[in-house]
Structure 1
Amino acid sequence: MEYNIQQDGKFKFIEEGEGEPLVLLHGLFGALSNFEHLIEYFRKTNKVIVPMLPLFELDLLHTTVGGLQKFVYKFIETRDYNKIHLLGNSLGGHVALVYILKHPERIKSLILTGSSGLFENGMGDSYPKRGDKEYIRKKTQLTFYDPAMATEELVNECFEITNNRIKVIKIISLAKSAIRNNLGEEISQIKQPTCLIWGNNDTITPPFVAKEFHKLIPNSELHFIDKCGHAPMMEVPDEFNKILSGFISKLKVPAATVH
Structure 2
Amino acid sequence: MNLGLVITGTPPIEVSGIGLTEGFKALAPEILQCFGKKDLTLKEAQLLAQVSGYDYSQEKQFLVDAILHTDNDVRFLYPQSITEEIGLNQKKIVATWEKPIAVIAGEQDIAINYHYVKGLDFKNLWQQKIHFISNAGHAVILEQPDAFNDLVSQFIVDLDIFNN
Q: What's the TM-score once normalised by structure 1's chain length? A: 0.47
> Deviation of residue 216 (structure 1)?
1.4
Aligned to 1:248: 156
| Gap change, CA 1:150 and 1:207, over 3 Å in 2 | farther
User: What is the CA distance between 1:150 and its match in structure 2?
Assistant: 6.6
1:114/1:217 CA distance change after superposition, 3 Å? same
Question: Deviation string for 1:139-195 (max 9, x for gaps)?
Answer: 102212x6348722331232243xxxxx33332211222343443334311110111
2:97 to 182, 190, 203: 190
1:133 is matched with 42
Q: Point out where structure 2 has 5 or more consecutive residues left out of the alignment.
A: 14-22
Corresponding position of 2:144: 236
Contact kept, 8 Å, 1:140 with 1:150, in 2: the verdict is: no
Distance 2:61 2:137 in 1: 18
Shift, 1:198, TM fit: 0.6
Residues 109 and 193 of structure 1 are in contact (CA less than 8 Å); yes or no, is this contact kept in structure 2? yes
Q: Secondary structure at the match of 1:191?
A: coil
Percent of residue pairs bearing the same amino acid type: 21
Matched residue count: 142
Please point out which of 90, 107, 110 is paired with 1:203.
Answer: 110
Distance 1:249 1:186, change over 3 A: closer
- Structure 1 or 2: larger helix share? 2
Contact preservation (8 Å) 2:109, 2:136: yes
CA distance in 2, matches of 1:203, 1:216: 23
Map 1:102-251 onto structure 2 (within 5 A). 106-118=1-13, 119-120=23-24, 124-127=32-35, 130=39, 132-144=41-53, 147=55, 148=57, 151-161=60-70, 167-179=71-83, 180=85, 181=87, 182-212=89-119, 215-221=120-126, 222-251=130-159
Structure 1 residues 241, 186: CA separation in 2 closer, same or farther (over 3 Å shift)?
closer
TM-score normalised by structure 2 residue count: 0.70
Aligned to 1:47: none
Specify the code of the residue in structure 2 equivalent to 1:242.
D
Q: Secondary structure at the match of 1:195?
A: strand
CA distance in 2 between counterparts of 1:154 and 1:254 reads 36
Higher relative contact order, chain-length normalized (CA < 8 Å, sep 6+) = 2
Report the secondary structure of 2:155's partner residue.
helix
Query: For 1:251 and 1:173, how far apart are their aligned partners in 2?
Result: 34
